[in-house]
Structure 1
Amino acid sequence: MWFLGLPWYGYARIGRKNEALELLHVMPLKNVHSWTALISGFVQSGHCTYSFKLFNELRIIVLGYESSLYIRNALIDMYAKCSDVLSTEKIFSSLRIRDVVSWTSIIVGLAQHGRANEALSLYDDMTKDGSTPNKVTFTGLIYTCSHVGLVDKGRQIFESMIADYGLSPSLQHYTCLMDLYSRAGHIEEAENVLNTMPFKPVEAAWAALLSACSSQAGKTETGVRIANHLLQLGVEDPSTCVLMSKIYASATMWESVSTVRRLMTAMELKKKPGYSCVDLGKENEVFYAGETMLHPMKNEIVDLLKELDSEIRKREEEKERQLFWHSEGLAVAYGLLKSARSAPIRIIKNLRVCSNCHTVPKLVCGIVGREIVVRDVNRFHRFKDGACSSSLLVIINATSQ
């Protein structure tokens, strides 16, 4: 993007709010582009509430913003990243003129929220409208197919990008294609993508494939081969080591398990502390995994968790009951206590939502009748009526609290 080199955008993106605002305010002349860069930076750093505050200030300062396609496209992207899909769709529907950025923003936004059918339908509308998709559009489309298991459709879209539009797939496209195959259980095809693509696969790509092997019966041998390959390449992410150890243990290769554990010790790899941040509009609260809770509302949170725990006990979900005391459970409980009764509960996690922790908001939303939206490092998970809009068939990142 054009504003990547702006200093206030950089500060905002890493969460240094005061420095970002100070730099912007000392500017002798501010325009819509400088404000947009600041808002985008805060959105990417997880400060969604503050980005809305800045936008309201921008609306007062800048006249005629509603007529700007550039601003409206930015709003579509912003609302999608803040999990406000209704506002995203509303702005898109109001556009009389739509360019490739408009279409791509809505398609990627819906894809991130598990709205696969709508995203694919919009792609059809986009091509009928005469707009030419770009590389970002195809990333969103393949990503969509990956998370709903549409292997043939995803393969067709990948091939169309090359044959029909003359676009050269990037590393991200190949990684999405690999993920598409591995999630659907096509391990051999996924491995072939990594071995034949014109890019060096990053560690995370091999780890995703390794995770797919560990979750499917009969793929231990393939998993061991991939683990051995990773061991030769050198591992930097502790979550990859965890996956490798699991694969070696399933193959009863205890010497290899010891090697991986020694590697972790020698590298002093430590698991990134996980947290869940619940956004209540005017405020937000962060809960860390494994932290002794000293919150002023500790008693209320614990009492509510006990009530939910009791309800789950009645449903005989013993394993899931224990998960209520993870950071997701604490954040959900706080959100229930502090938010309006009809408002969705919005939570941001710094790590991936694993398959186990995924059950917490799913169970709670069914019990209390509230919508819960969780944004992790990979995507949005929208929980409603005891179900989630996304599927967790493959774990890309093995770390979780």
Structure 2
Amino acid sequence: MGGWEKWLTNSGGVFPLLQELHIENCPNLVEVKLEVLPSLNVLNINTCDSGVLRRLVEVASAITKLEIREISGLNDVVWRGITVYLGAIEELSIFHCNEIRYLWESEAVASKVLVKLIKLKVGRCDNLVSLGEKEEGDNCRSNFLRYLKTLEVCDCSKMECCSCPDNIEMLRVASCTSLTSIFFPTGGQKLKSLEIIFCEKLLEKEWRRQKTNSNNTIIMPILEDAYISDWTVHKSIIELKYLVHLTSLTITWCESLESFSGNELPNLTLLTHLQIHNCSNLDASFCGNWPLNLRFSVVGKLKKSISEWGQQNFPTSLVKLWLYGDDGVSSSSQISHLLPSSLTSLGIRKLVAEVSCGAVLVKCNLERL
């Protein structure tokens, strides 16, 4: 409906039972004459003018889920005028809104207007610099978006810093290529899931600042799932022993990573899934230090060839193992010491071999399993 310009009704502009509304690809729609939408819970607006968005949130105070995409004219001033009507919002998604630089003026203001926000997603907002214009991360604000549990920020190329509310449980940051700082005022005490992908400028010193500003308390003490990929400036990962609730850990394509506290892995008794691969400068051979209840692991393509790792003491719980081969492996005899009898599934990449493991015979090709 690209030519639609006015939304006029014969019913007095009242839809008392309407619960969900989607408006897509109506760039010329500039006038909406609706009086009230008392039952509207879900609003999705795609490729429309900001005036349409403003009018709809004005007449629909019960909206709990809002998704907006490619809204023209939606700058900081206009957006802040809209947020005052979002008091009931629980899920907010913002995509391709390139005129927004900050989602809120300050943490104090955000806490007054987005009082029920549980889930926030922001993606491909090319001019977004940070969530708040006045970052107050160094001051602990117990009321800052107190109900926010999930925060996802992806493909925001100009975003420089991300100050996270204290209560979030899941954080995902991906392809924010200008990001230098992610900050938790109290050390992410409630964070359960962390995913950082291709944030190539995220500084190690800024990450370590978490501990300094958290009065030396353990950071992310209840973290269960961690996924780190393409973190190109980080050189070390230490103090894993404090992450006693960790069940899944993935570290991949971190070319600058040099050290990893593998000797602390046995302390992670809940860890069942471990992936560490394609980190060419990581000097780790594990020396038999594996999580006691490990069930699935992907390892290889590290600084030291798999053939040089020596005897491994895998736990009997391990049933699925993927090995990334390299130029240092030319025959199955060089990796036979890595194959525990408990395996029910084995994958090998980047070498030609025929490997016998108990009753299982696996044939591998240079390019595929």
Q: Tell me the TM-score normalized by structure 2.
A: 0.35
More helix, by proportion: 1
More strand, by proportion: 2
Q: Tell me the TM-score normalized by structure 1.
A: 0.33
Higher Rg of the two aligned structures? 2
